[in-house]
């Protein structure tokens, strides 16, 4: 029998399940049913459940595109980090998968290589370049994680309620900050933190 599906079709169907019904709904059997075949057929295209989840991560990373480089490394690092963050946020339900899986697809390496290249133009010592790279990547994934499960996430009412439920009066600093959260946007907040980090990196420039 001829191959019935392409890897792209499988990946698209799997990502659609995650987007629509959450990561818990992604199963070999559900995917097979969505494609109109039996569960065992999937094993001809995908290396088990683990391989299927890698495919989903690759599909999410695939539409993170490399911004055009400029002559300003800070601008480029900012643009790349922001684009990575946008790409991950485009599929919120897939974030747990992206966060916990080592991304090894070629498409992901391209933008990571671009980030390292931009940081290279900052003229840092080797160890500083590595630390800066990890910090930028950490900030991006950390921001995605925080939006998913952070202490000050969600509507301010919801956050206030949650904090209140855990003895809000005992944690006055969190309570005060949660009020600020309702007056700013997630985007501006990410941008602000990223700019602080970029300023700190720039101080190491030689």
Residue 37, contacted partner among a second copy, DNA, none, CB below 5-8 A by kind:
DNA
Instruction: Write out the residues near DNA by the rule CB under 7 A.
Output: 1-4, 26-30, 37-41, 43-44, 48-50
One symbol per residue from 127 to 166: x for binding a second copy (CB under 8 A), - otherwise; what is it?
Answer: xxxxxxxxx-xxxxxxx-xx-xxxxxx--------xx-xx
Q: 21-43 burial, b if ≥16 CB within 10 A, otherwise e?
A: eeeeebebeebbeebeeeeebbe
In b/e form, how buried is each residue of 162-197, taking b as 16+ CB within 10 angstroms? ebeeeeeeeeeeeeeebeebeeeeeeebbeeebeeb
Residue 39 touches which of a second copy, DNA, none (Cβ within 5-8 Å per kind): DNA
SS3 12: helix
Q: How far does CA 192 lie from the centroid of its chain?
A: 18
Burial class (CB in 10 A: 0-12, 13-18, 19+), 66: middle
3 binds, among a second copy, DNA, none (CB under 5 to 8 A by kind): DNA
Number of residues that bind a second copy (CB under 8 A): 76
The interface with a second copy within residues 46-105 (CB under 8 A) comprises: 95-96, 99-105
Nearer to DNA, 49 or 134 (CB): 49
Whole-number minimum distance, CB 60 to DNA, in Å?
18
For a second copy, give the closer residue by CB, 87 or 96. 96
């Amino acid at each position: 029998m001829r191959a019935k599906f392409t890897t792209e079709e499988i990946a698209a169907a799997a990502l659609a399940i995650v987007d629509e019904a959450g990561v818990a709904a992604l199963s070999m059997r559900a995917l097979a049913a969505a494609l109109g075949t039996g569960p065992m057929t999937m094993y001809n295209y995908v290396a088990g459940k683990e391989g299927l989840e890698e495919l989903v991560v690759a599909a999410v990373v695939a539409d993170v595109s490399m911004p055009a480089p400029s002559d300003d490394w800070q601008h480029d690092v900012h643009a790349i980090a922001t684009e990575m963050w946008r790409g991950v946020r485009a599929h919120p339900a897939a974030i747990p998968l992206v966060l916990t899986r080592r991304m090894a697809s070629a498409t992901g390496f391209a933008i990571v290589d671009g980030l390292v290249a931009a940081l290279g133009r900052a003229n840092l010592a080797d160890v500083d370049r590595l630390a800066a790279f990890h910090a930028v990547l950490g900030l991006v994934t950390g921001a995605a994680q925080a939006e998913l499960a952070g202490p000050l996430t969600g509507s301010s009412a919801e956050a206030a309620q949650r904090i209140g439920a855990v003895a809000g009066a005992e944690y006055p600093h969190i309570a005060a900050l949660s009020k600020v959260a309702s007056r700013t946007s997630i985007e501006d907040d990410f941008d602000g933190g990223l700019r602080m980090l970029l300023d700190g990196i720039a101080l190491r420039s030689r």
